[in-house]
Chain A
Amino acid sequence: MRRYFGRKIIIYISTFFLAVTIDWAIPRFMPGNPVVNLLSRTALRAESAQAMYSYYTRAFGLDVPVWKQYLNFWNALFHGDLGTSVLLFPQKVATIIMKAVPYDAFLLIPAILLSFYAGNKFGAFAARNKWLDNTILPLGYILTATPYMWLGILLAWSLGIVAGIFPFASAYSFSMVPSFSLAFILDLLHHWFLPFISLFLIGFGGWAIGMRNMIIYELEADYSHYLEALGAPRGLVRKYAFRNAILPQITGLALQLGVIFSGALVTEVVFSYPGIGYWILQAIQNQDYFLLQGCFLFIIIGVLVANFIIDIIYVTVDPRTRIGMQGGSA
């Protein structure tokens, strides 16, 4: 157990280190200078711009040699300071991200978890029921194959504009102020529904298909035949098959959850929903190194944490892994 986790932790830490270094490096290799960019946006006259130039360069820590910037970066990281944004100067990157994340989480976590649950359940059903297999499954494939933005916009247009039963812009009504009242929570959910359902539909298909295939293989495995030969009820066989089949799905879930941290850019564009994805796009288009860096960092940490948690779950759930770690063979 210790060796397993020990190795895992070393791998994670080195992956983290490498990924963060790349994260720090990439925005800096983009063409353009963020200070010049910031100054040009302010349309200052040359004399005023010059006075500000050195201030900004110092403020962003760009006046020290590159290797020192790298070390400062790690230092700031451990203090939770992700720098100051260029785009929204003088707001801090961490503030911007923290304000955006709840919306993403609120939208994506239910969407991913629910589509995981529903998709796998349906996939399992479809594996044993020929009728379902020939109707739900093709539907699942079509859903996975649908370009997300197309589905999203059609939903927004049909349910939001034509039928008018759902709002299609923003996280909560423009006439509301956030509070813990019932009215606000209902309003929040009302706005949440369309983005959620679009994400759910697309995700559902993928899980259903995956599960269906896994179950079929498991049902064809030797142990299934053995159990059947012993006269075990179909339900029992299916239960074991399901357990084996769910394992690879969990890895996929980990990756999906990790991706939450990068936000759902297209959802945010289609439904004008606030979130990190939008900030990433803005940061790149406006050459905001620090915001970009901060967002990426956030994503990297999130993904690695999610992966690590899933690895732990794997160990607890899959006895073969546990035994394998202890040196035995599965």
Chain B
Amino acid sequence: MIEQMNIKKSEKIDKIPIIKPKKINEFLYFAFRNNRVRVGLGVVLFFLLLTFIGPLLTHYKWDAYIGPFSVPPSSLYWMGTTSYGQDVFTQFVLGLKATFLVGVIGGGLGTFIGVMVGFIAGYRGGMVDEGLNMITNIVLVIPTFAILLIIAAYLKVRGIFVESLFIGFTAWPWAARAVRAQTFSLRSRDFVDMARMSGMKPLKIIFTEIAPNMMSYLLMTFILQFGGAILIAATLDFIGLGPTNAISLGLMMNYAVLSGALIYRAWWWFVPPGFAIMAIVGSLYIMNVGLDEVFNPKLREM
């Protein structure tokens, strides 16, 4: 009996294309022709570029009082100033950096843990599977949010890195479930049986036979975790559990709301950070759809 697993975004049950090394070129060819991938990647790269170039364009510190209060965007202050007279553009580009960092570290960690757990559970089955399943369920059951809140109470000072770790350690169940389902279906394939009969160690089988055939899937899982990590970080920042001495897009929104930015019509402090998150994560998801089409040729005819 195969239990149906679910991740909300996308999932393949049966047919996973087997990508052999020389097909990488074919993959890249189709990838860059796909509209969705183009658009998605383009937007993400734009913001990434802004992250690197932005700080070079501004010489202010993000929290220094450098100008008049609540000035709308102008040639002098490209994105206006906050109600304390800080430069919104500086905050924005530094915030982008923090956001990307959280996505990479948090998403990466979440993917890694989820993939490991999923592989092991899916391949071994039996009691190991049940055990890991229980752990997965527990991590899912205990509201991760609340755990994060608690851990945050321990730490007086929190940085971006710590926040990413939290997120990584609590967001992996989704990835684990999905990877487990895939591994399940893969492990009954012929080539895996062959490898097993030839006496290969299980860990080696996972990494040399099963994983390469799921590369596409792993990549998409990473992208989803990346986007998810950014959203979770934004929420944490907003309730005040973000890094204590840094700036991120979520923190910008938090400070803006605490100062009643919208009420005082200072939209430039509140709207751009949220818009940037929406654009980056949305593009990631769209890119994911595109990649799905690339990996699964049957979808291309849609």
Contact = CB atoms under 8 A, between A and B. Distances in A.
Physical contact A–B (CB less than 8 Å): yes
A147 B257 CA distance: 14
A207 interface: yes
Interface stretch (A82-90, A94-102, A190-198, A319-327): A319-327
A320 to B, nearest CB: 7
Interface stretch (B23-31, B57-65, B118-126, B136-144): B136-144
B142 A206 contact: no
Q: Main secondary structure on chain B at its contact with chain A?
A: helix
A19 B270 contact: no
Contacts of A280: 146, 149
Contact of B9 (A147, A210, A258, A287): A210
A251 B292 CA distance: 22
- List 4 A-B pairs, minimum CB-CB distance, nearest first: A324-B1, A150-B274, A248-B6, A145-B282
Interface in B269-285: 270-271, 273-275, 277-282, 284-285
Interface in A225-256: 247-252, 255
Contacts, number: 183
Interface residues of A, number: 74
B233 to A, nearest CB: 10
B176 to A, nearest CB: 14
B2 interface: yes
Nearest to B280: A145
Given A141-B289, A303-B141, 11 more contacts: A11-B137, A15-B134, A26-B147, A145-B284, A210-B8, A217-B11, A217-B14, A269-B239, A299-B142, A318-B4, A320-B2
A248 B5 contact: yes
B278 A150 contact: yes
Interface string B224-254: 0001000100110011000000000010010
Contacts of B234: 147, 149-150
B149 A281 contact: yes
- The prevalent SS among residues of A at the interface is helix
A265 B141 contact: no
Nearest to A249: B6
B8 A209 contact: yes
B185 to A, nearest CB: 12
Contacts of B257: 149, 153
B240 to A, nearest CB: 9
Contact of A19 (B1, B5, B141, B263): B141
Contact of B274 (A147, A209, A252, A269): A147
Given A141-B285, A153-B262, A325-B1, A252 B277 contact: no
Contacts of B274: 146-147, 149-151, 154
Interface string B134-167: 1001101111011101101110000000000000
B56 interface: no
Given A259-B143, A330-B1, A209 B134 contact: no
